[in-house]
Amino acid sequence: MNTEAGRQAKFNQLAQSYGTDLYRYAMWICGDDALAKDLVQETYLRAWKALDKLKDSGAAKSWLITILRREYARTFERKVPKFTDVDTVVVPEDSELEPEDRTEIKLLRQGILKLAPKYREPLLMQVVMGYSCQEISEELGVSKSAVMTQLFRAREQLKAKLQKDGVTGNVHELF
């Protein structure tokens, strides 16, 4: 990869191979199409700049996911929260928050997004990205047994939440 053409070819191969997976993961962590596309673009920009540091092509997917996760974290560093006068906030009734026509998929997604990051990230990496426990362990820098415990607890918390919300289908089939 000493030539510019070789560098471009390597980058194009990465973008083609992992673009869909990056977008899908970005959508899961942020839930916004425009932000997900921006995250993928920023990931590509940072990957292009650091392409020479990628020595093992087999680790490319993990490398790109790490860049994307860090880029998503940076969005919170740049964000200035809007402050609202607490006296003007109207809290809607529970019935307004939980309409009868919500689908199981929407409830499942909401349940996943409400999990603590410690449980949400490994679950998304396994379910959405198809990572093995070993890959998740390496990506998050925790032991494989810790990943297995986090995945188990994430599923149990999610099942309890879905059953509490009245999902009538077999919750175990959703996993």
**Do 172 and 159 meet the contact criterion of CB atoms below 8 Å apart?**
yes
CA dihedral (171, 121, 76, 45) in degrees, to 10, reads -120
Is residue 138 domain-resident?
A: yes
On whether residue 116 sits in a domain, the answer given is yes
**Each residue's pLDDT tens digit, 97-125:** 444 444 666 777 888 888 898 999 999 88
Q: What is the CATH number of the domain that holds 14?
A: 1.10.1740.10
Task: Confirm whether 86 is domain-assigned.
Answer: no
> Is residue 102 domain-resident?
yes
Question: Virtual CA dihedral for 12, 51, 29, 143, nearest 10 degrees?
Answer: 130
pTM over 0.85: no
Q: Do 49 and 96 belong to one domain?
A: no
User: Can you give the length of the chain in residues?
Assistant: 175
Question: Are residues 10 and 74 both part of a single domain?
Answer: yes
- Give the domain extent around 47: 4-78
Number of domains in the chain: 2
Do 158 and 112 fall within a single domain?
yes
97 in the same domain as 71: no
C-alpha distances in angstroms, 157 versus 111, 117, 122, 149, 175? 9, 13, 14, 12, 13
pLDDT at 4 over 60: yes
Q: At what angle do helices 60-78 and 33-49 cross, to 10 degrees?
A: 120
Whether 97 and 70 share a structural domain: no
Q: What is the pLDDT of residues 14-61, one digit of tens each?
A: 889 999 999 999 998 888 899 999 999 999 999 999 888 888 878 888
Look at 40 and 95; give whichever has higher pLDDT. Answer: 40
